[in-house]
Amino acid sequence: MKTKSITFFYAWAQVSLICLNTFQIANRQITGALIVGFMISLVWTFNVKRAAFGSLADKLIYSVGASAGTATGLFAATYIYK
């Protein structure tokens, strides 16, 4: 169960950051975009093995985490920059 939670968390974190970063780039928030871009790459290094070589269950959990991350990233961007 712990591994599944970690898979969900990393997917959630990466996609949340990607959504936030997309908003930052579109709205010329350069400093924030650079910092978040670094964080995306760092989280990605933890995700590669899980996403590419995991079981079907791992891939589904990863996808649910990514979906939740989309919602979180959109909310964060709206809250932080408005």
pLDDT tens for the chain, residues 1 to 82: 688 889 899 999 999 999 999 999 999 999 999 999 999 999 999 888 777 888 899 889 999 999 999 999 998 888 888 7
- Determine the pLDDT at residue 54: 83
Task: Give residue limits of the domains in the chain.
Answer: 2-81
pLDDT of residue 53: 84
Contact assessment for residue 65 and residue 5, using Cβ atoms and an 8 Å cutoff = no
Quick one: pLDDT at residue 40?
96
Burial of 10 (0-12, 13-18, 19+ CB in 10 A): buried
Q: pTM here?
A: 0.85
Q: How far are the Cα atoms of 21, 33, 80 from residue 37, in angstroms, in the given order?
A: 7, 6, 17
